[in-house]
Amino acid sequence: MSETPSGRPHFPTTAVTESIIVSGHVHGVGYRAFVLSHALRLGLWGKVRNQEDKTVLVVVSGLPDAIDQLVLELQKGPFGSRVDCVLRTSLGVAGEQSGPFVIDRDL
């Protein structure tokens, strides 16, 4: 959030998309369901999936502040997980919302 010249808060209204890779002990601990729950609560859309290299991939779109809040949760993870690294990559301005946040079960 920034301020306008009048001193009023300015909230960004442009949705962005990020690719986020989470590494650590994040398979078999309910991590994808954890991500889904927080993404839906924050009004984000996209998907989460397990990767063959034992990382979790999150492709998420929404307002930057909401994505920042999601990343804070990703760093904590659910009980039983251990998050070693959260790597964010901006994919630019988001296209039109294509539906709710989902768990992508395909590897």
Interatomic CA distance for residues 66 and 61, integer angstroms = 9
Please identify every residue annotated as catalytic: 32, 50
